[in-house]
Amino acid sequence: MNEWLALAQEMEDQGADSAELGEALESLAAQIDRLSELLEETETSLMLSCEEDHLDAILEIHPGAGGTEAQDWAEMLQRMYLRWADQHKFAVEELDFLPGEEAGIKSVTLRISGENAYGLLKGEKGIHRLIRISPFDSSGRRHTSFASVDVIPDVGQSIEIDIKESDIRVDIFRSSGPGGQSVNTTSSAVRVTHIPTGISAQCQNEKSQHHNKDSAMRILRARLYELELRKKEAEQQAEYAGKNAISFGSQIRTYTLQPYRLVKDHRTNCEIGDVDAVLDGRIDKLLREYLLFLHDKA
């Protein structure tokens, strides 16, 4: 409202000169567009009411079966989320990375930090399917690839989680993948396992064993917190739609590049024809539609 009032005052001060009025109207149109964006952002933030929604997100991507084709798709998804984070001025830290043998990635773990990062990204958890003409098939055949995305809240030190030292097993090993700065020349990679639950986390990106252990423990705390959330949601019978069907063949979204171009979310039926824009990180409509879907079901 302050922006509207300021603009109205500016127009009044400028008088009725047609040229100045035309400029003011153009400015007003731009303001209306911006206010519309702010309204959508505000409505979205109001739907993020869960305790963990305001936390940062830990996002993991793993390719499905299919070798290089699936690993390339996993890397495309990583790029999509990195572009989205950059557009929102969110900070991204790579906690763990394992490259593919020929192309793509075997796995990646990212920490995405920003306002409501987990709340915005929580609907991305599930199986993502790609249909395209494979660049790795000399016959030019159409291929279907799968990759799984997991999103958990980064609880950090803000939520107390009791992890007994006796319940933790720490394994030290040599990092794999491309070298650099002694990353894969010393036994600095760390895997921590929570023995009672069998949940584990690893980090191998830093040459410091201590830093890798801290990052692995951070991921482990987040996974244990998510486990408690799942138990609580199960008790309340309030698990969000699709969460009980996270498996290959039960995709939450399909990205079709051939024979037509379309991105479709199978939970909300939201469809976007500009596939390139989506893969370039412009996924806010998909994120918002999922939040509206949850809100309508509540």
Which pLDDT does position 19 carry in this prediction?
Answer: 67
Taking phi over 0 as left and psi of -120 to 50 as alpha, with beta for the rest, 66 belongs to: left
Which pLDDT does position 81 carry in this prediction?
Answer: 98
Q: Identity (one letter) of the amino acid at 154? A: D
Q: Which of 234, 264, 285 corresponds to the end of one domain? A: 234
Contact between 271 and 262 under an 8 Å Cβ cutoff? The reply is yes
Contact between 56 and 112 under an 8 Å Cβ cutoff? The reply is yes
Which pLDDT does position 185 carry in this prediction?
Answer: 57
Write the pLDDT tens digit of every residue in 137-179.
878 788 999 999 999 998 865 556 777 888 888 888 877 655 5
Which pLDDT does position 277 carry in this prediction?
Answer: 97
Which pLDDT does position 132 carry in this prediction?
Answer: 94
Write the pLDDT tens digit of every residue in 237-280.
443 344 343 345 579 999 999 989 999 999 999 999 999 999 99
Specify whether 66 is located in the same domain as 139: yes
Specify whether 6 is located in the same domain as 149: no
Contact between 91 and 112 under an 8 Å Cβ cutoff? The reply is yes
Instruction: Name the DSSP class of 101.
Output: S
DSSP 117-176: HHHHHGGG-EEEEEEEE-TT-TT--EEEEEEEEEEEEE-TTTS-----GGGEEEEEE---
CATH of the domain at 205: 3.30.160.20
Q: How many residues are given for the chain? A: 298
Which pLDDT does position 285 carry in this prediction?
Answer: 93
Which pLDDT does position 181 carry in this prediction?
Answer: 46
Closest CA to 110 of 69, 145, 154: 154
Q: Which of 212, 234, 256 corresponds to the end of one domain? A: 234
Specify whether 31 is located in the same domain as 65: no
How far is CA 32 from its chain centroid?
Answer: 30
Specify whether 140 is located in the same domain as 277: yes
Does pTM top 0.75 for this prediction? no
Beta bridge partners of 150: 60
What proportions of the chain, in percent to the nearest 5, are helix, strand and coil?
Answer: 40, 25, 35
For residue 160, being part of any structural domain is answered with: no
CATH of the domain at 69: 3.30.70.1660
Q: Which of 205, 234, 263 corresponds to the end of one domain? A: 234
Alpha-carbon separation of residue 268 from 223, 240, 274, 293, 297 (angstroms): 27, 12, 17, 6, 11
Specify whether 126 is located in the same domain as 246: yes
Specify whether 147 is located in the same domain as 257: yes
Specify whether 38 is located in the same domain as 140: no
Q: List Cβ<8 Å contacts ≥24 apart for 83-88.
A: 83/280, 83/281, 84/281, 84/282, 84/283, 84/284, 85/112, 85/114, 85/281, 86/281, 87/281, 87/282, 88/114
Closest CA to 153 of 49, 48, 253, 229: 229
The domain in which residue 95 lies consists of 56-155+241-297
Residues of the chain with pLDDT under 70: 14-19, 156-160, 176-186, 232-249, 298
What total number of domains does the chain contain?
A: 3
For residue 51, being part of any structural domain is answered with: no
Which pLDDT does position 230 carry in this prediction?
Answer: 75
232 CB burial (10 A radius; 0-12, 13-18, 19+): exposed
Phi, psi of 105 (to 5 degrees): -135, 150
